[in-house]
A = this chain, B = another copy of it.
């Protein structure tokens, strides 16, 4: 059995081998270089920054899984390798442009700020062939290109080390200056804190005068202020969950006092 790349990237081949051994059939495998590792090197990207890989199928519904794989990789600054569906028997290879446009389309439903036409991506085509090509750029630039014959692989880059940006320019063809995709994809916790910290602070300032001189309520107001400050500190420390808990708690303290005086809650 002869296959492209490293045979055991395809779980079917592992299954075949496991069953063969179970039935006492002798097996021997010769591994080949896989496009998964060689492609990353050919693009000049750092392999230790590659997160979980994903496969893009032509059926649109299936794009939410790769979308969230990219999301989870990108918030950690990791690169995502996207394998594209192919069926050699039917001579079908998914076009990298269709994969990218499908992801941009998926963004419209999921709205996590993961991917849009300004996202930087790499299309690695025919890696290892004489006519190998590595083309990178914003999706808006890539969608105008013809990448030629398959096989193609797409990489959505995460945070780029300067040696990676340099290598992309020298080893391949950059249509645009490489940019950091992780900049615009903020963690949900950071998005929340950006909204809630000023909102709770304002709600607190508005209600404070209504409790002047009432000692037992002063303690509540002071606690609210302290928890807002704690929330900011926890976020800085990377303790996102505790930060959210703290700002939620501060908001609850403030809103209880607002509701008691007939004010609208701010949640």
Contacts and interface: CB of A to CB of B under 8 A. Distances in A.
A53 B47 contact: yes
A175 interface: no
A259 interface: yes
A8 B35 CA distance: 12
Contact of A245 (B13, B247, B254): B247
Contacts of A58: none
A118 interface: no
A188 interface: yes
Interface stretch (A86-94, A96-104, A176-184, A215-223): A215-223
Contacts of A150: none
Name, among A29, A52, A166, the residue most crowded by chain B CB atoms within 10 Å (CB to CB): A52
Interface string A233-267: 00000001100111111111111110110100101
From A41, A223, A250, A254, name the one whose CB has the most chain B CB atoms within 10 angstroms: A41
A143 interface: no
A110 interface: no
A172 B241 CA distance: 40
Helix, strand, loop or mixed for chain A's interface? helix
B32 A44 contact: no
A62 interface: no
Interface residues of A, number: 75
What number of copies of this chain does the assembly contain?
A: 2
A189 to B, nearest CB: 5
B33 A18 contact: no
Contacts of A61: none
Given A220-B256, A252-B255, A44 B18 contact: yes
A216 B259 contact: yes
Contacts of A34: 33-34, 37
A259 B220 contact: yes
Contact of A9 (B41, B216, B227): B41
A11 B262 contact: no
B54 A51 contact: no
A143 B197 CA distance: 49
Contact of A48 (B53, B128, B255): B53
A37 B8 contact: yes
Interface in A191-210: 192, 196
A167 B41 contact: no
